[in-house]
Amino acid sequence: MLALLLLSVPLVLAVCPNGTVYHPEFGRCYKFSSTRQSFELAESDCLSLGGHLVSVQNGYENSMLIEAMRFLYPFFIGLSDLGGNWTWIDNTPVTYTNWAKGQPNGINQCVISALDNGFWSANSCFERLPYVCAISANPTPPTSCPPPPVCPSQPACTQCPSQHPSCPAPSVVDRCPSEWTYFTETNSCYKTFLAASFDDAEHTCVVRGSHLASIHSSSENRFVAGLTRTGEAYGNPSALTWIGLRQVGFLSSTPWTWTDGTNVDYTNWALGEPDNADGNEHCVQIYSDHNGADPTKDTQFQQWNDYYCSETMRAFVCKKPASY
């Protein structure tokens, strides 16, 4: 979806180096590197991109990093006491930490996020590990045009040449990255991916600066379902689509929450759902296709069902805020 620039408001878009991903919640670009490097060499790679090993500012960012690197921990972050005190390598204040019990240990000097629960441990700076870089997102130059000149009211004035002959015509800018689809109601971008369990689907979204789609209205529900609809009757529940609703910790006792942290202010459960069959259905799929030859008789079409999180679903939809 394209939109004309508003001439009265300069447009600011995030520009990230190649190989990095913009995360709008934090306004930074991230490189999630599987290459194993020492702390020093990892920082050198981050510097080459104009950034540093990541400084973690809050628990939400820490959780995002754990999800993005869930197959790669332990990994280096940018905290060390090489100078005698625990400091972030980018010199931002240390206002948040998440040490594991008994850490730091007074021996090692560089910090890794070592566990899938997000706790940190001091580690040897020389061990070769994956790492995360963070780079400040650069805004694009303003593209607004100044107002035209006013012609002086003089008898001799017969023509007023433009004072801005080189001002370009309004340009057209994508609100969403290539291959993502814009939805006006939510001012968000959506993209369909294929074949993943719930956790793997959310991981795919997170490393692209997004989350599995949260749904907040009937119109958004129809839109999301339409993104992955094949038009054919589905043969089994795994031929449908993951959305971002799940029970945290995959426990029946926890409430349903969206992976992007937004409020659960709309639901569209199918009749009798959620039913938590076998006590193991803690993630949500949408009936993105019909279950018979006549879709008009399928009362479940575009409704929701709780399902096994470990099941590989045919499709899933990622969602992130539009660029402006």
CB 92 within 8 A of CB 79: no
Q: What is 14-136's CATH topology?
A: Mannose-Binding Protein A; Chain A (3.10.100)
The residues spanned by each domain of the chain are: 14-136, 181-321
Per-residue pLDDT tens digits for 183-228:
888 999 999 999 999 999 999 999 999 999 999 999 899 999 888 8
Average pLDDT, the chain: 82
Per-residue pLDDT tens digits for 263-288:
999 999 999 999 998 889 999 999 99
Region 281-300 average pLDDT: 81
Per-residue pLDDT tens digits for 104-129:
988 888 998 866 678 999 999 999 99
Per-residue pLDDT tens digits for 32-74:
988 899 999 999 989 988 899 999 999 889 888 888 887 777 9
The residues facing 245 across adjacent strands are: 258
Superfamily, domain 181-321:
Mannose-Binding Protein A, subunit A (3.10.100.10)
Looking at the chain, the whole-number percentage of residues with pLDDT higher than 90 is: 45
Closest by CA to 11, choosing from 208, 209, 180, 171, is 171
The residues facing 308 across adjacent strands are: 281
Structure tokens at 73: 């921990």
Same fold, 14-136 and 181-321: yes
- Name the amino acid, one letter, at 166: S
